[in-house]
Amino acid sequence: MEISRTKVKDLLQMPAGQRVLAKGWVRTKRGNKEIAFIALNDGSTIKNVQIVVDKNADTEPILAKISTGACIGVEGNLVESVGSGQAVEIHAENITVYGECDPVRYPLQKKDTSFEYLRSVAHMRPRTNTFGAIYRLRSQMAFAIHDYFHSRGFVYVHTPLITASDAEGAGQMFQVTTLDLNNVPKNKKGQPDYSKDFFGKMTSLTVSGQLEGELGATALGEVYTFGPTFRAENSNTPRHLAEFWMIEPEMAFYDINDNMDLAEDFIKSLVKYALNNCYDDIKFLNDRYDNELIERLEGVINTEFVRLEYTEGIEILEKAVADGKVTFEYPISWGVDLQSEHERYLVEKHFNKPVILTGYPKDIKAFYMKQNEDGKTVRAMDVLFPKIGEIIGGSEREASLTKLEKRIDELQMSRKGLEWYLDTRRFGSCPHSGFGLGFERLLLFITGMSNIRDVIPFPRTPKNAEY
Ligand code: ATP
Ligand code: MN
């Protein structure tokens, strides 16, 4: 009878002297005339288990079938390892080859391991050490996020992916339709007749679950969403995806300061979780690509984020330019939206720690943000991080129906599609706040990767939707 499989992660913790069965993919095979050494990985850990095979007439034909990438099962004795690197190894007695791997055609060759190349074989890149580590970190962090909110009594609300509200980001939305594009039904004005479309109106993929999140918060108190988000912004940057995941907590009775406190504690807790639970993977990424990664992660946990008004931020940036300390591609003055280069100057050069910027001009922020007394600024807050720039965007929400309606009119938005949202202000309105954390931006920070396409398994970007 075949014994049951043990994962490599567990094997490496076990005492020598037992019979074990490991299954996985061959990372390398080497050896001499007498013995072969196979490094086997099964995805449970960044570490491989070493398999030692005696070469003889029985094993030679099997070894001949085994090359990098092949899938095998190995039964044998777990013995103390004489070589360095691991405590135990498997002395093979019985090897099953599940799948051979053609060494010539296998897409993961030593000769090209650039991230760019690996993106072109994104269907195979999870087999690399680097992407194994990233996938595991992604999974762990998703768990950590749910854990954080659940342990604090937040309710996980599922907000729709298909939406008829174009309140946010019109023009940035992917339309959802079953109309025949070769024969679109038209109304009297010659425009597409959406009454004939699947939902009887124009619909798109969501750019944020916030508005629906507010419906949850104004009933359940503290809620969060965590789901796919879609933005058709044609920006080919290392920080933007067309499909990404966003975490959006929304809390009744939180003002902007409570919101900032939560954002800071949340992010610090996640980074702490990563260091405590995923250290092997982080250490691998640190040693391989980015020697300052662990230091940066620890730095964030142990520092108080700077809290700064937008107006002061602009003054600092203007002064830096005037003093010749920096030149920016995009000019800076009060009223402009900050570009990543500006955000990173504040974080990396001026303060050398994360910054939460508040009090943005109302004209560059969304209609629902709470208006300040000055009539010019709103209670927005962006959390700015080293190497990334904006990682979180949020605000206290405008709770007053009249102010909200006035703002909607000023922006010449249609109130009609927003009546359901305005009902939260009409019936038992309450002060509340929330924010959105881009899951991949968080992962960029935690993995130290520099391109957002490398922290999501199957990136969707302009002109790219392979697999
Ligand atoms: P940016 O200015 O960086 O484009 P934004 O201000 O448009 O971001 P928000 O609408 O505030 O973004 O969304 C909240 C969070 O979602 C951002 O802070 C960021 O972490 C993340 N995010 C936004 N757009 C994208 C995108 N295209 N790809 C990945 N993450 C994104
Ligand atoms: Mn933002």
Tens-place pLDDT, residues 295-351 = 999 999 999 999 999 999 999 999 999 999 999 999 999 999 999 999 999 999 999
Structure tokens of 252?
Answer: 């009744």
Per-residue model confidence (pLDDT) at position 235:
81
Three-class secondary structure of residue 410 per DSSP: helix
Does residue 169 carry a pLDDT above 60? no
Count other Cβ atoms within 10 Å, centred on residue 315: 13
**Structure confidence by residue, pLDDT tens digits, 23-40:** 999 999 999 999 999 999
How far, in Å, CA of 381 to CA of 393, rounded?
6
Phi and psi dihedrals of 348, rounded to 5? Answer: -90, -35
pLDDT band at 430 (very low <50, low <70, confident <90, very high): very high
**Structure confidence by residue, pLDDT tens digits, 264-282:** 999 999 999 999 999 999 9
Q: Which residue has the tokens 């095998």?
A: 72
Longest dimension (CA), the chain: 86
- The DSSP code for 250 is E
Which atom of ligand 1 is the closest one to the Cα of 241? 28
CB distance 404 to 398 below 8 Å: yes
Say which residue, 133 or 171, is predicted with more confidence.
Answer: 133
Does residue 249 carry a pLDDT above 70? yes
Mutate which of 267, 388, 390 for ligand 1? The one with the most ligand atoms within 8 Å of its CB, which is 390
pLDDT band at 459 (very low <50, low <70, confident <90, very high): very high
Instruction: Pick the residue whose CA is nearest to atom 25 on ligand 1.
Output: 240
Q: Is 438 in the pocket of ligand 1 (CB under 6 A)?
A: yes
Q: How far is CA 352 from CA 97, 193, 267, 346, in A?
A: 53, 54, 17, 8
The number of the ligand nearest the C-alpha atom of 436 reads 1
Q: Is 344 in the pocket of ligand 1 (CB under 6 A)?
A: no
Cβ contacts of 114 within 8 Å, gap of 6 or more: none
The number of the ligand nearest the C-alpha atom of 248 reads 1
